[in-house]
Homo-oligomer: A and B are copies of this chain.
Amino acid sequence: MIDLGRLRALHAVARYGSVNRAAEVLGYTPSAVSQQLAKLERETRTTLIERQGRGIVLTDAAQQLAATAARILELVEDAELTLEEQRGEAIGTLRIAAFPTAARGLLPAALSRLIDEHPGLDVRVDETDPFEAVAAVNRGEVHIAVVHDWANTPLALPEGLARVKLGSDPADVLVPASHRLAGKEFVRAEDLVGERWICQIPGSICHEWLMRTMRRAGVEPDVAYSVAEYQTQLAMLARGIGIGLLPRLGRGPVPDGVVAVPLQPAPSRRIYAVWREIAARRPAIAVTLSTLKQVWPDRSTA
């Protein structure tokens, strides 16, 4: 009877289009995958792959076999999930992909609690941007993704993925203590026209929000200083050479010489946990999701 390992290899090759990528995903060397395919060909006495240029293509028979292999592997995974569900223990490896701010501001609390309450759980974290994180969940390489979106460009999820909103992450304007806005209760976007910005690199919430909001208002923001580190940003702010924007999540208390002023309306970046719907039967995933929800720092008053 056909070996499952061979089917996994074929399925991965069919899915990722190359022996190398399949091997990478499976955690093997390309040689191992190649040998598995060769053996599968010998055992089934069927040509499954053909070389094309530097790569390979699957024959029709292989495509078909890969399709049923997918169903078989799904059933096997389902059986494993059912067993784990029946056992009810949160156990095994759980991989989380989170964007940097969440990795810093949300995961430490969640992780320490998970490790305390579920010693059998081996949690791994990868810092990944939201787009890639969702793709990784969809491919099954990661169990949970912590991602964000903006109210005006809501996150679209592939079929089969579910999400729960953990909360919103408001961002404040950081200004030097001597700044004209330092004493205000809140500021509006239009108050910020003409300012020089100290932003973290493109992809940061500062950059994102500036571009989204200011441009919509018809103003091109002046990002004079683009820095990589939060500490650099703070040092510049303290010198009074510009202002910044920073999410509260994962931000420590602002140092002397810098003041955080809430924005009105607050930049509404929403944070979600995303997972494969069927995988939620795994207790490990269920407890992690619930822990993430519980440790969300409720700073509605902050």
Top-3 shortest CB links A-B: A68-B79, A4-B4, A44-B83
CA distance A20 to B77 in the complex (A): 29
CB of A51 closer than 8 Å to a CB of B:
no
In the complex the two chains form, is B75's CB within 8 Å of A72's CB? yes
Residues of A at the B interface (CB closer than 8 Å) are 1-4, 7-8, 44-46, 61, 64-65, 68-69, 71-73, 75-80, 82-83, 86-87, 89, 91
Q: Give the Cβ gap from A278 to chain B, nearest Cβ, in Å.
A: 14
Given known A82-B68, A83-B46, A91-B45, contact A76–B1 (CB-CB < 8 A) = yes
CA distance A87 to B62 in the complex (A): 12
Residue of B nearest to A8 (CB): B1
How many copies of this chain?
Answer: 2
Report B-chain residues with C-beta under 8 Å of the C-beta of A61.
83, 86
Q: What would 8 A/B residue contacts be, using CB atoms closer than 8 Å?
A: A2-B4, A2-B79, A44-B80, A46-B87, A64-B82, A65-B82, A68-B75, A71-B75
Report B-chain residues with C-beta under 8 Å of the C-beta of A91.
45
Report B-chain residues with C-beta under 8 Å of the C-beta of A75.
68, 71-72, 75
Q: Known pairs A1-B73, A45-B91, A72-B79. 17 more at Cβ < 8 A?
A: A1-B8, A1-B76, A1-B77, A2-B76, A2-B79, A3-B4, A45-B87, A45-B89, A61-B83, A61-B86, A64-B82, A64-B86, A65-B83, A68-B78, A68-B82, A72-B72, A72-B76
CA distance A290 to B115 in the complex (A): 65
